Amino acid sequence: MARIAAIISGGQSGVDRAALDVALKRGIAHGGFVPKGGWAEDFLRAPGLLARYPGLVETASRDPKERTERNVLAADVTLVIRPRRAPSPGTDHTIAVAARHRRPWLTIDASDPGSVKGAAAALREIKGDISLNVAGPRESEAPGIYRAARRVLEALLVRLEN
CATH number at residue 81: 3.40.50.450
Contact 78, 36 (CB under 8 A): no
With contact defined as beta carbons under 8 Å apart, do 82 and 137 qualify?
A: yes
Q: Looking at per-residue confidence, does 82 or 112 come out higher? A: 82
pLDDT of residue 86: 83
pLDDT band at 2 (very low <50, low <70, confident <90, very high): confident
Provide the domain count of the chain: 1
Mean pLDDT of 41-53: 95
pLDDT range class, residue 17, cuts 50, 70, 90: very high
Contact 80, 65 (CB under 8 A): no
DSSP one-letter code for 102:
T
Could you tell me the residue range of the domain that residue 39 belongs to?
2-161
Provide the CA 156 distance to its chain's centre, in angstroms. Answer: 13
Mean pLDDT along residues 58-77:
97
What is the rounded distance in angstroms from the CA atom of residue 123 to the CA atom of residue 32?
20
Query: What average pLDDT is seen over the chain?
Result: 95
